[in-house]
Structure 1
């Protein structure tokens, strides 16, 4: 059954969530006058929405994974939808849709989008560039020859990654052979890990909508720097690149190749991260059959008229989503870390940000101070500038503004 926003029948939409919070109000995808949205989580109700999301009341049902079937089958199939934008719920969502009898919206070979080892094996076999990797199957073995084999195969540094995680969780850079051996000792006997060759270059991302076998380009962008290091006080961020640029064209071609290999069946958003090496070659790091996190979905709304998280949720429910169209506008997101013992001065720094026309969303750790042992994201910013080259100048100005830096508590 295909839903319609204009239908008079109310539909209950179950949004599955576990570890990745929603980055937008679900009512933006499913208006309250037509849908009853219930978030089903095996986490905590407080972590269903990212802290900076402004939303009305959200109905949340907490239940263990083995109870989700009974929760979602409590409604007749013709009055229910099941969706997710959580990496840790994609497989469960696909399975539950099958159980209820809803049309398949996720890729048939969903593991190709969830498991980094499976992903790289498929892409490498098709000639799509990926880093060389060593799968630690069936479990990590803390033997000297394991470390020696990894270093001789991959070189140094080595990147340790969980096979099925998101948001850089568990990722570590191992700079020398001693660090590799120490990492193996810490994870001895654990399943689900890989070691990967480090690829130097500029980090980028590319996003598209996949529906009816078509790949519709949305946006391509660059990251400010490595996606690790917030705990050490490094700011994270990224910005869009002009739709007509060579970078964008090559990124979209790479994304199309990735989806052609992993599967275009289904209706979903695809998000691919890659490295542009100094020699110009683009190397795929990972991909996901869901909308991206951080501020990337918001940038897509500015850049192409489509908010990616809203689009991904609606696509799964069979609802219409606009065709992405380049607006000519560029945007950037920044996450600002707060070191231990520091906070932002909302009165002083907020006033200065307002003078510059910058909307800073300060989180609790930014308002009340960081009493933890490492830096934490304390505020977020989305910047928009329509002038040629203006966005880069705006980003540079913000990074050097005194209010950007946290103050002692």
Structure 2
């Protein structure tokens, strides 16, 4: 029995050989050359890996699916594992083509293709922002005429907020249209316009195991996701158990999962606008764990990695998830995206303030740092815990002050 692992990102963050140590199967890894270099990692060698390789242009290159198919046939693959956004649909295509178990293209597409996602939500009566698929440049002008500015322009199958623009004038609209290709190589439209929704952004994260929701809890961003070149700390905290908004979001997340479906075992990340008048409006959803520190926050809330357990269950391995419950403690994350310059100093990690359970830096002193390229391009990240939201936020603010005092870059 052999499992093909499609992987974009840090291999240290997803130690498949440890996750599946009791699996007794062999692993074949296909990963991203760019990500391997970015994280300064090397390909694994030796058991349980039969083979490991990386490809350039991994995120969008059609050669990745072709090579994955060759590996399925060469090694007699019996399962395909995919945990990252760019791999979800590829893995589904491979499973359907070769009759392998797991998520198939129908549910993979609804979580990956924002046009299909919004259509599925609308059919289920789930509120979404007014939107249109751009089939000509004139469609964006017409949409702006109907809805006014700002207008949100986003790629149909984007990730990490790459390509997302908030257009605030006709001039910005014209300039952005000159920069984007509205169609892919086969002529399919690849961009959506959406009405701008005023309000805060919440997200609902959790896992489905054995066809049932095992964990589900909402958090609230205190920053704009698309504005990833701001210089402030980006704060995101789980909601209190007694918060009425938390209960509304729990019910909203359950409704989205019923409408979109999914495989027997998967993690999910659902983003929801909470408008000024109290309405909940779906932004988008994904059948994978949340990015940045969302995964670490979920581990604090529920005691397990939301990527690891669905992978183990997909391969028939036991997990001690227990009955569904509310979190006993809260947690949040503090993120600093990269800013350009020479990194001259960082604070001493031996003096970390209380409540910080994880602190990660993504550059070394003396290194020349480039500006952030996407919403997950971090200089530093913290995971902070507290008894409730108020204590968690106070500790996050303490960590923010600590980091700013010790940071010198420019």
> TM-score w.r.t. structure 1 length?
0.84
SS at match of 1:308: coil
CA deviations over 1:231-273 (Å, ceiling 9, x no partner)? 3424334122234432222112111111211124532122100
SS at match of 2:29: strand
CA deviations over 1:59-117 (Å, ceiling 9, x no partner)? 6313542121121222345xx42100121211221222234432233474321111111
CA contact (8 A) 1:85 1:309 kept: yes
Q: Are 1:274 and 2:272 matched, yes or no?
A: yes
CA distance in structure 2 between the aligned counterparts of 1:226 and 1:29, rounded to whole angstroms = 34
Show structure 1 runs of 5+ residues with no match.
Answer: 1-10
CA distance in structure 2 between the aligned counterparts of 1:48 and 1:93, rounded to whole angstroms = 20
SS at match of 2:229: helix
Show structure 2 runs of 5+ residues with no match.
Answer: 56-62, 184-188
* Residues 1:402 and 1:334: Cα distance change in structure 2 (over 3 Å): closer
1:37 to 16, 27, 52: 27
CA contact (8 A) 1:87 1:165 kept: no
Counterpart of 1:47? Answer: 35
CA deviations over 1:22-81 (Å, ceiling 9, x no partner)? 54322342227734433212x30x61598499998686313542121121222345xx42
Counterpart of 2:381? Answer: 380
CA contact (8 A) 2:129 2:194 kept: yes
* Residues 1:54 and 1:305: Cα distance change in structure 2 (over 3 Å): farther
SS at match of 1:110: helix
- TM-superposed CA distance for 1:184, in Å, is 1.7
Q: Are 1:361 and 2:360 matched, yes or no?
A: yes
CA distance in structure 1 between the aligned counterparts of 2:294 and 2:271, rounded to whole angstroms = 12
Counterpart of 1:341? Answer: 341
- TM-superposed CA distance for 1:157, in Å, is 0.6
SS at match of 1:210: strand
Q: How does 1:112-191 map to 2 (within 5 A)?
A: 112-137=110-135, 141-143=136-138, 146-187=139-180, 189-190=182-183, 191=189
* Residues 1:125 and 1:402: Cα distance change in structure 2 (over 3 Å): closer
CA deviations over 1:352-409 (Å, ceiling 9, x no partner)? 3268866431212x43333435685211111122356210111122223354663146
> TM-score w.r.t. structure 2 length?
0.84
* Residues 1:216 and 1:407: Cα distance change in structure 2 (over 3 Å): same
CA distance in structure 1 between the aligned counterparts of 2:389 and 2:370, rounded to whole angstroms = 41
Number of paired residues?
Answer: 387
Counterpart of 1:247? Answer: 245
SS at match of 1:367: coil
